[in-house]
Structures are given as structure tokens and as C-alpha cells.
């Protein structure tokens, strides 16, 4: 295990707690607080393809910059989207946190995520590998990028009434 990156700037426990707090905000549908977690210039991405990172040139379920994240949140909060009426209840579980790249200002973290959705009396379960690029700022951690690679992304082009 000596080839694992050093976590001198931010301990793994602090990163884990931050990402658990993000998941809790999403489960509570506290989208305004969630928007406040984001650094400038980043993207929220749910690609259809399991491989690759040229998200601007491939099919995505979501490819949101700051403006699109804000618009998505307003639709979810306002009930103007058929997928948001009524909103789904969700429970997220995050595990297997791995810090892949660490420097003074940026952390790349990946984890496994399970989301259980309950809507209209039925439950669906989604599994994903999630990657975050986190910025280390004077105010604390902020999300620059979040990429959710759903295991069943090719069958997911249906409505979802929450954020992963």
C-alpha cells in the first residue's frame, strides 16, 4: 500500500465526511445548499458511456455547468418538470473512498454509490462509480467536477426526479 498518494493537505476522513454531507443534502432535497458546494468552472456529469472523459462530445444524461445546475435545481424545486412531480424520496450510500490525485489545491476522489429511489410506491436501485474533483480553498472543500458513472446508464434514459 506504499504507492497510495499521501493525503497531507486534507485527511481522507475529512473528505469522506464532506461527501457524506453532500449526499445528505441531496437526500433531503436541500438543493440550494448543494449548489453552494460548487466551485466555479466545474461540471456535473452523468455520461451514458462507461468509458472516456470527453463529455462535451459524447452522449450524457446530464452535462451541467453552473447555469444548467441552477436551472435543473429550479425545475426540481418548482415542480415544472414531469419527473419532479411528485419528487422521489432517495437514500444514498457511499463507500470505498479512494483518493487518486492529491496536491496543494486539488483532490481527485472516487467512491461507490448506491441510490435507492422511492416514487409512486415503487423502488428502484442504482449503482454508480462516482468521481469528484475537489478544490481546497480557504473556506474549505468545494466541488469542481462530479462524474457519476451509472452501471446501467444505457437503460437510464428515463426521467429521474432528483440529483445523483
So what's the pLDDT on residue 8?
55
Q: What parts of the chain have a pLDDT lower than 70?
A: 1-8, 79-85, 153-162, 164
Q: Hey, which CATH number is domain 12-155, 3.30.70.2520, 3.40.640.10, 3.10.450.50, 3.40.50.2000?
A: 3.10.450.50
So what's the pLDDT on residue 76?
84
**Which residues does residue 115 pair with via DSSP β-bridges, in sequence order?**
92, 126
Question: 29's torsion region: left (phi>0), alpha (psi -120 to 50) or beta?
Answer: left
Q: If residue 15 lies in a helix (H) or strand (E), which one and from where to where?
A: helix 12-27
Q: Which of 151, 137, 156 is nearest to 38 (CA)?
A: 137
Rounded Cα gap, residues 111 and 15, in angstroms: 11
Amino acid at each position: 500500500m506504499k504507492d497510495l498518494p499521501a493525503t497531507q493537505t486534507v485527511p481522507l476522513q475529512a473528505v469522506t465526511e464532506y461527501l457524506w454531507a453532500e449526499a445528505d443534502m441531496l437526500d433531503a432535497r436541500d438543493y440550494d445548499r448543494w449548489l453552494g458546494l460548487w466551485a466555479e468552472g466545474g461540471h456535473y456529469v452523468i455520461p451514458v458511456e462507461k468509458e472516456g472523459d470527453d463529455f462535451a462530445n459524447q452522449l450524457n444524461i446530464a452535462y451541467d455547468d453552473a447555469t444548467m445546475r441552477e436551472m435543473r435545481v429550479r425545475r426540481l424545486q418548482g415542480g415544472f418538470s414531469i419527473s419532479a412531480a411528485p419528487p422521489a424520496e432517495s437514500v444514498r450510500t457511499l463507500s470505498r473512498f479512494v483518493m487518486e490525485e492529491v496536491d496543494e489545491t486539488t483532490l481527485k476522489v472516487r467512491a461507490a454509490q448506491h441510490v435507492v429511489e422511492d416514487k409512486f410506491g415503487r423502488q428502484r436501485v442504482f449503482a454508480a462509480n462516482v468521481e469528484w474533483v475537489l478544490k481546497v480553498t480557504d473556506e474549505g472543500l468545494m466541488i469542481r467536477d462530479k462524474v457519476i458513472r451509472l452501471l446501467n446508464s444505457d437503460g437510464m434514459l428515463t426521467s429521474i426526479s432528483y440529483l445523483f
